[in-house]
Amino acid sequence: EIFTALVDMEHLAYTERELLGMLDRAIQAEEQKIQTLKKYMEQYQRVNRELVDNQEAYLHNPVNAYLVVKRLAADWKIVQGVITENVGSKFVENITQVSESLRIPDDEDLNGAAMALIRLQDTYRLNTADIASGEIQGSRLKRQLTAGDCFELGRQSYNNADFKHTALWMEEAWKIWRSESDERTAPLGDILEYLAFSTYKMGDVEGALRLTNQLLDEEPGHPRGVGNKAYYEQELAKQASTVRRQRKGETGEEEDLDVSVREGYTVPESTEEARLPERDMYEAMCRGEITVPPSKARKLKCYYAHNSAPFLLLQPIRAEDLYLKPHLVMYHDVMYDSEIEAIKQLASPRLARATVQNSKTGQLETASYRISKSAWLKQGEHPLVDQVNRRVAQLTGLNLDTAEELQVVNYGMGGHYEPHFDFARKEETNAFKSLGTGNRIATFIFYMSDVEAGGATVFPEIGAAVWPRKGSAAFWYNLHRSGEGDYDTRHAACPVLIGSKWVSNKWIHEIGQEFARPCGLTPDE
């Protein structure tokens, strides 16, 4: 698929241009066909007029008589041939032939792209109307969605059984439909039917009935409208009788009828207050609403990175603490633009959809909770890869002989990676077994692009976040000194709202760090 890496969408401009070229040639062929038919017609009209005007005299000449017969017996077939020549199906055939090489998005891409928009809408609490007007945090080159575009987003949500967004997008489609008086882009009947049904699915039967009545006002004979109306009326009657019985105390249980009332939540001032469910915490952090509480933030420092590596004396590197326990540190300007460009170039042709390990089967598979493409760059394949690996070793003081290859990642539309651990948990016995290098002791991640909006790396357990900055990097230990996993390192990559996010990471393993980071008997000593 294409939508899972933004860099893979860059060719779409050319793909579309190619298709337009083909359409242009098809139109020309169609016009040519019409011209040919007109020419035949004019020619035949001329001789036919002569024939009609002097019927008998004309046919007395055997040459003329022969020509009349020939026109009707043979020439007319030529016309039939031209008229049935199918330019359209040739066009479709051509497209099918080149669709592989042009990499035309398919239905999976359309669904993925629609879901990406909806993920962004949810995570960043965007207004449906703002998205419809392309108004996403002041981004440039905005484009207004038509009623048809909104309808399609609603339909995609419906196919994913996401009735909340079906309703939001159908409502928006309806609103825009009303302003499209000269050129309608979606059928109102279908908009209203989807809107009514998703309203019903969310528990508002009265609302569904009201909308269906509106549908029938617009289109009295709407085939499904009539049936749906009867069904909703029946449902309402059933509800009313349940309420009556409850009032009379016929049933013991209290039934909650108003399912449409959804719980809201308020964002607490700091993470020390009531904990949010992880999902809410993650999303609030992505929006930048939750940060490290002041009591902890006060202790964070900026300094020059220091260890025994002489490199750091020759080339001071600025470090910034983002959290202390676990220690999350950000290094600034640790990857040069020239390195970034070269690494992107090396990785681009090899990008493949990122996979996750199924914790039950140990199999690698794709998942909607990780949307990106990645490529692995080997030590020794390019001097710059070695140079970057060396820098990680110097900054961390760790042995990189047992580290995984450099993983280069490009996120796609709304690309994200939901909360996860980088280390293998005790029950995930299969995880790194074949490598024979132990667990992932530490993560080093380079940010290879600025991201205009969204795309932070957030740690929901501790409230810390890393906001991508081209050339910066983040580093943390995933394991305690005892070798146990540090559950506070749970982290996520927030959906990219605007821009293209590139990162590369180096996962460092336990074996080889015996002297660099000796183990301890208690978790942290």
Ligand X SMILES: O=C(O)CCC(=O)C(=O)O
Q: Which is nearer to ligand X, 157 or 472 (CB)?
A: 472
| Site for ligand X contains 424 (CB under 6 A) | no
Query: Which residue, 109 or 422, is less far from Fe ion as judged by CB?
Result: 422
How many of the chain's residues bind ligand X (CB under 6 A)? Answer: 8
Compute the least distance from the CB of residue 195 to ligand X, in Å: 37
Residue 158 binding target from Fe ion, ligand X, none, CB below 5 to 8 Å by type: none
- Three-class DSSP category at 331: strand
329 binds ligand X (CB under 6 A): no
For ligand X, which residue of 149, 283, 422, 488 counts as binding (CB under 6 A)? Answer: 422
Tally of CB atoms within 10 A around 366: 14
| Least distance (Å) between residue 376 CB and Fe ion | 15
Q: Can you tell me which residue has the tokens 């899972």?
A: 4
Binding to ligand X by residue 497, rule CB under 6 A?
no
DSSP state of 316: -
Across 1-36, b (16+ Cβ under 10 Å) vs e yields bbbbbbbbbeeeeebeebbeebeeebeeeeeeeeee
Q: How far is CA 475 from CA 225, 480, 513, in A?
A: 58, 14, 16
Instruction: Determine, following the binding rule CB under 5 A, whether residue 339 of this chain makes contact with Fe ion.
Output: no
Position 480 contacts ligand X (CB under 6 A) = no
Q: Give the x/- contact pattern for ligand X in 434-473, rule: CB under 6 A.
A: -----------x-----------x----------------
66, 176, 205, 505, 511 from 99: Cα distances, Å: 51, 33, 45, 34, 48
Q: Which does 384 bind (CB under 5 to 8 A by kind): ligand X, Fe ion, none?
A: none
Q: Give 229 or 491: the residue with its C-beta nearer to ligand X.
A: 491
Residue with tokens 């965007």: 126
* Region near Fe ion per CB under 5 A, out of 63-71, 106-114, 340-348, 418-426: 418-426
Amino acid letter, residue 458: V
Residue at shortest CB range from Fe ion: 422
Q: Which of Fe ion, ligand X, none binds 330 (CB below 5-8 Å, type-dependent)?
A: none
Question: How does 129-157 read in b/e, with b if 16+ C-beta sit within 10 Å?
Answer: eebbeeebeeeeeeeebbbbbbbbbbbbb
Q: Indicate the residue type of 29.
A: A
Among 162-170, 191-199, 239-247, 416-424, which window interacts with Fe ion (CB under 5 A)? 416-424
Among 490, 491, 506, 509, binds ligand X (CB under 6 A): 491
> Count of H helices and E strands in the chain?
17, 17
What is the C-alpha to C-alpha distance for residues 473 and 92, in angstroms, rounded to an integer?
Answer: 48
Report if residue 486 touches Fe ion, rule: CB under 5 A.
Answer: no
Q: Which stretch binds Fe ion (CB under 5 A): 307-315, 414-422, 463-471, 479-487?
A: 414-422
> CA 300 to CA 361: how far, in whole Å?
41
CB of 462 to ligand X, least distance (A): 15
Q: What is the DSSP string of 33-97?
A: HHHHHHHHHHHHHHHHHHHHHTHHHHHHSHHHHHHHHHIIIIIHHHHHHHHH--HHHHHHHHHHH
Near ligand X by CB under 6 A: residue from 167, 186, 276, 503:
503
CA distance 196 to 207: 7
By CB under 5 A, residue 461 contacts Fe ion: no
**Quick one: which of 172, 422, 486, 510 contacts Fe ion (CB under 5 A)?**
422
> Can you tell me the distance from the alpha carbon of 232 to that of 213, in angstroms, rounded to the nearest whole number?
11
Distance separating alpha carbons of residues 214 and 469, to the nearest angstrom: 51
493 binds, among Fe ion, ligand X, none (CB under 5 to 8 A by kind): ligand X
By the rule CB under 6 A, 486 interacts with ligand X: no
State the nearest-atom distance from the C-beta of 454 to Fe ion, in Å. 17
Regarding 417 and contact with ligand X (CB under 6 A), the answer is yes
Residues in the interface with Fe ion (CB under 5 A) total 1
Binding site for Fe ion (CB under 5 A): 422
Binding site for ligand X (CB under 6 A): 417, 422, 445, 457, 491, 493, 503, 505
